[in-house]
Structure 1
Amino acid sequence: MVDHLIAFATSHYLLVGAFVILLALLIAHEVSRGGRSVSTGELTGLVNRDEGVVIDIRPAKDFAAGHIVGALNIPQDKLMARIAELDKHKGKTLILVDAAGQHSGTHARELLKAGYNAAKLSGGIATWRADNLPVVK
């Protein structure tokens, strides 16, 4: 199997080179689109120092099933319409949390454009739970 792959790569080096370049561009685009990420430890530190506010952008039903202590629930489809609610937290880092970290980066970039300091929790609530950190129901 590996022999076939090596033979293909050496025979079609231009095709393989183009694939590698496109893959690198795709990865770079996704990283830049996602905004700044924080780990569960960084999130905990920011909140404990009163420098961060957790904004859970999952639907209310998912939020009710379990969320990070002290998190505010503003579903992602209503985030920009309810942005005025975040004005009192303008001096803090708004840490957006979704199910698996797939959508929060896009919304964090929107908040950055609106003048807020925003980041996303890397891996979302799934990573929080995987690290055995507490959730409130």
Structure 2
Amino acid sequence: MFGTALAPTTLEGWLNAHPHLPGILLAALCLLILFLVVLPRIASRRRGKGRPVLDPVQVEELVTGSGALVVDLRSAEDFRTGHIRGCLHVPFAEFPQRFTAPDPKARRALVLVDETDELAHQAFDLLTQRGFTWLYVMRGGMKAWRRTNRPLAR
């Protein structure tokens, strides 16, 4: 009537009519996977911008070298699944009551750790407001620690 073409009824006809579509779909799928893998790391880098952050290897060296104290902010259940050897477990809910003021005799750096580093940055802000110095956040949290195959204590 108006010269409209009928849509292809078979898969082969559809692919012949739109040969570029499978490539576009594959590219879109690859971009989606890349986005889902990289997004948590981007968020971690944005939170840590302008702050003293350490990667897991640096934390391990700092703990074994100068004896920094790692403060694990995760829940008790997460802590029992594995933690950094020698760390102090202080769940984030208890954190404000446990760290009220810096000890003037303390000479050790504090490294704040949680599962992803989101809570560690919140704790960092609280401690700096209360006058603490020598603070670090482990970038990526315990997920990054496990991803780099660092040792876990149970």
The separation in 1 between residues aligned to 2:102 and 2:81, in whole angstroms, is 23
User: Which residue of structure 2 aligns with residue 120 of structure 1?
Assistant: 137
Correspondent of 2:84 among 65, 68, 75? 68
Q: Confirm or deny that 1:111 pairs with 2:127.
A: yes
RMSD over aligned Cα, in angstroms?
2.9
| SS across alignment from 1:54 | strand
Deviation by residue 1:3-46 (Cα, 9 ceiling, x = unmatched): xxxxxxxxxxxxxxxxxxxxxxxxx97445x8321111211121
Q: Confirm or deny that 1:35 pairs with 2:43.
A: no
The separation in 2 between residues aligned to 1:54 and 1:89, in whole angstroms, is 18
* Structure whose alpha-carbon radius of gyration is higher: 2
User: Which residue of structure 2 aligns with residue 136 of structure 1?
Assistant: 153
- When you count helix as a share of all residues, which structure comes out higher? 1
The separation in 2 between residues aligned to 1:44 and 1:89, in whole angstroms, is 24
What is the total number of aligned residue pairs between the two structures? 112
> Percent sequence identity over matched residues?
27
Q: CA deviation at 1:115?
A: 2.2
User: Which residue of structure 2 aligns with residue 50 of structure 1?
Assistant: 66
Contact 1:109/1:118 (<8 A) preserved: no
Counterpart residue type for residue 73 of structure 1: H
| SS across alignment from 1:126 | helix
The separation in 1 between residues aligned to 2:74 and 2:101, in whole angstroms, is 17
Structure 1: gaps (5+ residues): 1-27
TM-score, normalized by length of structure 2?
A: 0.62
Structure 2: gaps (5+ residues): 1-44
Contact 1:36/1:105 (<8 A) preserved: no
| SS across alignment from 1:134 | coil
Counterpart residue type for residue 47 of structure 1: V
Q: CA deviation at 1:85?
A: 9.3
Q: CA deviation at 1:84?
A: 5.4
Q: Confirm or deny that 1:93 pairs with 2:109.
A: yes
TM-score, normalized by length of structure 1?
A: 0.69
The separation in 2 between residues aligned to 1:120 and 1:52, in whole angstroms, is 12
